[in-house]
Amino acid sequence: MKVIVISKRMWIGILLGLLVLGIGLVIYMSMQERETESTAPTMAAIDSYELNAIPVMSRMVPVYRVSREDNVIALTIDAAWSADKTPFILDTLDQYGIKATFFLCGVWVKAYPEMVKEIAARGHEIGNHSMSHPHMNRISTEEIKKELTTLDDEIERLTGKRTKLFRAPFGEYNDTVVSTVRDMGCEVVQWNIDTVDWKEGRTAETILNAVLPKLAPGSIILSHNNGFAIETYLPKLIEHAQKEGYRFVTISELLPEGDRTVDNNGLCKPAG
């Protein structure tokens, strides 16, 4: 068997060849990428859209935050499981004189009807969080409508009012979800500040360190009625925000009056 011996000079030649080949490949890929970018629509070319209008070159986006010049923010509380901490939350909100928006799931409404009445009686806003907490982007338009309507019927029976706001379970949505809900006369609301208080092990200090630096006019904060550490972090969050000059309002109060637009980053502002 013949053994091929590669000299040091040959090794250098091989390595140099591979290097040149690699550089050529990088240049080729870069040219391809630039060509693709030049033919793709830029974000700047995609205009904001008016509610209830489906644009040709845009995606439907919920409200994540609101453009405000005054120091107003909104606290939102999702309720989908348990209720043992809800009385504390309601008492704390009363203590500091603020109103919040509660997004209630149908399973929770069915399990705690008296608590639903109490939330409404204390002057807080109630939003729709779907009847069965499904993955909304996996169901049909008719099923989306049924999820909202069935829960609204129950909330109206308990409180005398139907909802005007919707938050998608798991934060999941697509164009069909957003357009269908808006066609029903409801606004779709997400959040731009997440406490992640559903995650076990997150301390009040961790939550506050993540939330407080992000406070800004028009912010929407997400909490959960049975969130871990909420009994510790909620009073401190409120105290800090009020000390910094922020005023808590409901989502309906936070939103602009009349016609409004929502851009591709979820920023809601008055139309025109």
Catalytically active residues, by annotation: 78, 224
The DSSP bridge pattern shows strands 101-104 and 72-79 to be parallel
Backbone φ and ψ for 110, nearest 5 degrees, come out as -65, -35
Q: State how far the Cα of 222 lies from the Cα of 64, in Å rounded to an integer.
A: 11
Helices 204-211 & 230-243 angle (0-180, nearest 10): 30
Question: Which of these, 145, 148, 152, lies nearest to 116 by C-alpha position?
Answer: 152
Q: State how far the Cα of 34 lies from the Cα of 39, in Å rounded to an integer.
A: 9
Buried b or exposed e, range 31-41, using 16+ CB within 10 angstroms:
eeeeeeeeeee
Q: What sign does the dihedral 78-83-85-90 (CA atoms) show?
A: positive
